[in-house]
Structure 1
Amino acid sequence: MNIGFEAKRVFHNKTGLGNYSRDLVRILATYFPENNYFLYNPKAYKKTLFVSNNTNVFEKNPISKFNKKFSTIWRQKAVVKDLVKDNVEIYHGLSGEIPIGLQKKGIKSVVTIHDLIFVRYPNLYSFFDRKIHFYKFKKAAERADLVIAISEQTKKDIMSYLHIDASKIKVVYQGCQDVFKREYSDSEKQQVAEKFNLPETFVLNVGTIEERKNALTIVKAIKKLDVDLVLIGKQTDYTEKIHQYISENKLEKRVRFLKGLTSEELAITYQLASVFVYPSIFEGFGIPIIEALYSKTPVITNKTGVFSEAAGPNSLYIEPFDVVDLSKKISKVLSDNSLASKMKEEGLKFAQQFNDDVIASEVMSCYQQVLSV
């Protein structure tokens, strides 16, 4: 089978959508090596985020001068000619988009929609971004033969906001990179702890430091606790609110902002953390939660929305802005060794449903379902 992918984010996005795209291509190529996987990348750069070790994965770029110059047009429409030339049987839009004209050429299609946060929380997006996102997602969901939602929550939102029938939507959870599933040696952990000056006991939060992720609530929650906080992620204007609170409450020595970690350093930091706190207001899924579970780090997260799907029955839950309850739950995890141990072990067991082989099998089942119609 020849399978094509919208691969812009495979090669150009360092975080969420890019990680999802790279991991999916990797695991499909590994578990189903009999197929060919074509990655349609609109712009080739010398520095790339993805190099496949599989001989059945091929990067495809625009060839003509026109398509190279107008790569957006190529990605949205002209790429279909290349799909036909490569005998692609099914095309997968990995981040809410598929090109126009697939049906006319007899090419089946699947599109993954990660979330519709821009509809739920329009205040977090500009007017034009909301309109563009909605138009692209709506059209892709209507044109595709099957829609993959990364959670039951996202499926509900696709049905509600895009008015797509439930029978056309399949939930396939995300996984995470293998690097978070490894056991690291004491010496490796010590090197990372020393490099980033990590305390012996600390609360960890990973993700873009923006209003929706709600990191300020964690800072407030640890104010009266004897524990430090490590925040890892790209900083935005919202970060200034956190810095202001830290300054006003003299917490400079207890809150650390880290960036520029390698994947291995991030994975080791998860394993060094005493508890992972993720009070995000809303997510399509919440990959950092999965990373924490695989790292055997206790998780505290939001009790509403998608988070219980990702964190499972043995994590602890809070209302996202309840500083007092969050403080109590952090304190309980840090002081109750038996609770922390149970959360670690049961969390790891729960995470097995996000293993590569499970995800690869479910996605391939989606492809076969579409092709059989």
Structure 2
Amino acid sequence: MSGKIAINLLSISPKSSTGSFVYIKNLLDSLFALDTDSLYFLIIDNASRTYFIKRFKNYPNVKYHAVSIRRDLLLNPVRALLKLWAKIKKDRRRREAIIKGEVQRFLDKKRINLMFFPSGTMYPAGLKNIKTVTTVFDLQHEYFPNNFSNAYLARRRTDTAYASHNSDRIIAISEFTKRSIVEKYEINPDKIIVIYLAPQQEKDSRPSLSGLPANFIFYPAAIWLHKNHRILIEATKVLKSKFPNLHLVFTGMTKSKKIKEELYALTEAYGLTDRIHFFGFVPDEDMPSIYKQAKALVYPSSFEGFGIPLVEAFKFGTPVIAADNSSISEVVGGAGILFKTGDLGMLTKGIERILSDDSLRGDLIKKGRERAKDFSWDASARKTLDVLNHLC
């Protein structure tokens, strides 16, 4: 393809380690390498400028436009407007209106008529004379509204519904997400294209992360209510007598301090502080060594739009046991053990089978490696480019 495409990254922070950010950085790496004929303009927040310029410095077809509310205000000769800065910073509508004006002027000046929103949010909304593609990750808020504060729930519902109705094309990261969009928002399924995610691309991975126990199962997930860390602590307690050397490793950011404190308290109450390890955020380059050494990836989450750790485990030869819900069963296919969500008995039995049955373990590793071939960022980039091409 040869043309100009804007990619809106205003709703994403490089400090995030969420699946959406993993998606964005890996997809764009592959997309920019694949399509060297087009000129891509990244619309970024001024605070993110340094990260993105460094991240994509090897692609001459990538340009940048950093949005700064304060800079926009300074362009106005009326200095008194600066006194409104504190109010504007807190007022989402007013802030969005200012950003919208700046982005619209940039698009008009560069004569860009196609914008890709890979972060799931069309921000700013209401841009004119532009065709749009938006990636929607999941509709968890429609299934588990209690997982969100009232304010965030309202905002998420509004943003996702707006993107679903107003995008010219929607990229859904799983068939489950596509069905959710169609059912919850009554969207024509023909405008939704399913494009799977993939394992993170390895770059300068370290051989081994210090502090790992010798014998452990592994769960990489931010501490949120729906991730169900608690059931793994319960399972570790049940398995303690039969597997006295088994440890449990958690990695991932803390999204809820309250839940983290509850998990720590439960670990202490069960006398498992020497067996359960909370590593917190772990850099990308350290993750491969954890996958490779783990006896199993155990994934008890009650809801996922995709579940990147599942395909990463397949890639690294780590057996998988996962809860049977949302997109998880779709991604796992027949390459892992599925258990009924929240069923402690099924979960512990599945872990026990993986740890005790070498034949089963070998079979799961083989099936996982084969399943991993179905997911690649190059394939995702090619399909994404096809969607963009369709609108040019």
TM over 0.5: yes
Once the two structures are TM-superposed, the CA of residue 119 in structure 1 deviates from its matched residue by: 1.6
**Residue 19 of structure 1 pairs with residue 25 of structure 2:** no
Matched-pair contact (CA < 8 Å) for 1:67–1:73? no
Once the two structures are TM-superposed, the CA of residue 46 in structure 1 deviates from its matched residue by: 7.0
**Residue 151 of structure 1 pairs with residue 174 of structure 2:** yes
Paired residues for 1:127-206 under 5 Å: 127-179=150-202, 189=207, 191-192=208-209, 195=210, 197-206=211-220
C-alpha change, 1:270 and 1:172, in structure 2 (3 Å) is same
Q: Distance in 2 between matches of 1:366 and 1:309?
A: 23
Quick check: which has more Rg, 1 or 2?
2
Q: Quick one: which amino acid aligns to residue 96 of structure 1?
A: G
- Secondary structure at the residue paired with 1:224? helix
- Secondary structure at the residue paired with 1:223? helix
Matched-pair contact (CA < 8 Å) for 2:17–2:253? no
Once the two structures are TM-superposed, the CA of residue 101 in structure 1 deviates from its matched residue by: 4.0
Q: Distance in 1 between matches of 2:271 and 2:389?
A: 58
Q: Quick one: which amino acid aligns to residue 202 of structure 1?
A: F
Q: In structure 2, which of residues 141, 147, 150 is the aligned counterpart of residue 124 of structure 1?
A: 147
**Residue 228 of structure 1 pairs with residue 247 of structure 2:** yes
Q: Distance in 1 between matches of 2:277 and 2:365?
A: 24
Once the two structures are TM-superposed, the CA of residue 10 in structure 1 deviates from its matched residue by: 5.9
Q: Distance in 2 between matches of 1:309 and 1:349?
A: 15
Per-residue CA shift, 1:343-364, capped at 9, x if unaligned? Answer: 1121122122211221111111
Q: In structure 2, which of residues 111, 118, 130 is the aligned counterpart of residue 94 of structure 1?
A: 118
Per-residue CA shift, 1:129-181, capped at 9, x if unaligned? Answer: 1111111222222221111111111111111222211111111111232128x
Structure 1: gaps of 5 or more residues: none
Q: In structure 1, which of residues 62, 66, 70 is the aligned counterpart of residue 72 of structure 2?
A: 66
* Stretch moving more, 236-245 or 262-271: 236-245
**Residue 54 of structure 1 pairs with residue 43 of structure 2:** no
Matched-pair contact (CA < 8 Å) for 1:119–1:130? no
- In structure 2, the residue matched to 1:113 is 136
Q: Distance in 2 between matches of 1:210 and 1:136?
A: 21
Q: Quick one: which amino acid aligns to residue 13 of structure 1?
A: S
Q: Quick one: which amino acid aligns to residue 223 of structure 1?
A: K
Q: In structure 2, which of residues 6, 9, 12 is the aligned counterpart of residue 7 of structure 1?
A: 9
Q: Distance in 2 between matches of 1:345 and 1:54?
A: 36
Q: Distance in 2 between matches of 1:364 and 1:370?
A: 10
C-alpha change, 1:75 and 1:11, in structure 2 (3 Å) is farther
Q: Distance in 2 between matches of 1:149 and 1:323?
A: 31
- Secondary structure at the residue paired with 1:61? strand
Per-residue CA shift, 1:61-84, capped at 9, x if unaligned? Answer: 137822687664354453122122
Q: Quick one: which amino acid aligns to residue 249 of structure 2?
A: V
C-alpha change, 1:174 and 1:45, in structure 2 (3 Å) is closer
Once the two structures are TM-superposed, the CA of residue 12 in structure 1 deviates from its matched residue by: 4.8
Relative to the length of structure 2, the TM-score reads 0.86
* Stretch moving more, 171-180 or 121-130: 171-180
C-alpha change, 1:82 and 1:27, in structure 2 (3 Å) is same
- In structure 2, the residue matched to 1:324 is 345
Q: Quick one: which amino acid aligns to residue 365 of structure 2?
A: K
Q: Quick one: which amino acid aligns to residue 5 of structure 2?
A: I
Per-residue CA shift, 1:266-304, capped at 9, x if unaligned? Answer: 121111111001110011111111221112111111112
Q: Quick one: which amino acid aligns to residue 66 of structure 1?
A: D
Q: Distance in 1 between matches of 2:324 and 2:150?
A: 30
Q: Distance in 2 between matches of 1:148 and 1:231?
A: 31
Matched-pair contact (CA < 8 Å) for 2:7–2:117? yes
Instruction: Give the total of aligned pairs.
Output: 360
Q: CA RMSD in A?
A: 2.2
Matched-pair contact (CA < 8 Å) for 2:135–2:170? yes
Kindly, what percent of the aligned residue pairs are identical?
28
- In structure 2, the residue matched to 1:32 is 35
**Residue 82 of structure 1 pairs with residue 106 of structure 2:** yes
Per-residue CA shift, 1:194-219, capped at 9, x if unaligned? Answer: x2x21221000001112100011111
- In structure 1, the residue matched to 2:280 is 259
C-alpha change, 1:15 and 1:359, in structure 2 (3 Å) is same
Structure 2: gaps of 5 or more residues: 75-84, 89-94
